[in-house]
Copies of this chain bind each other. A is one copy, B any other.
């Protein structure tokens, strides 16, 4: 065990390029130092073509992807696929926080209207106010009188509820139908494992069964 003058050598554990890749991977969300190391070694022994494909996918995404000028969803053209689709009902706008939420709702195949992506939710703690979200763009979309229903599909948490309440008040003078997604028990879930808020909401929103 010696330590004379070799500290930096000891700290930089891998040689240049490997350590550099581990550092870069470790900056990604949800990738800790151990995962970064595992991924780096996986890539070291992977085919060069596969690694180049990943590198190209990274560069392409920054080169080609932008945000839809209408709804704020991710897009590769001026407008996203949904805004360009003439079969989508322009009278109903579903307001979500992120593009990920659009995908989640699209998977249900239940909704055939349009979207509006806010880019987040109002959160005083994180310093996100109404002006940081795409609310002005939403208001201008609503101004032409074509929209009849606004579905507020922000997350069912504190920030999402606050954002929905804010928007509901803001659009009230317009006389639109404003709805919020139902809260309740997850389908396939176990009643005993539901948290009390969800269970309370499920009671509140109980439906009468028709026979």
Contacts and interface: CB of A to CB of B under 8 A. Distances in A.
B25 A103 contact: no
A185 interface: no
Given A28-B42, A37-B100, A42-B29, A21 B106 contact: no
Interface in A1-30: 1-3, 9-10, 13-18, 20-21, 23-25, 27-30
Chain A: interface residue count, which band? 35 or more
Number of copies of this chain that the complex holds = 2
A75 interface: yes
Interface stretch (A50-58, A130-138, A153-161): A50-58
Main secondary structure of the interface of A (DSSP, over half): helix
A43 interface: yes
Nearest to A110: B1
Nearest to A99: B41
Given A21-B57, A41-B98, A100-B37, A14 B74 contact: yes
A61 interface: yes
A64 interface: yes
A152 interface: no
A63 B48 CA distance: 9
A60 B109 contact: no
B51 A10 contact: no
Nearest to A42: B29
A40 interface: yes
Nearest to A22: B57
11 contacts: A10-B109, A15-B65, A15-B76, A17-B64, A18-B61, A28-B43, A30-B38, A44-B65, A44-B74, A54-B58, A55-B55
Interface of A: 1-3, 9-10, 13-18, 20-21, 23-25, 27-31, 35, 37-44, 48, 50-65, 74-76, 80-81, 87, 98-100, 103, 106-107, 109-110, 112
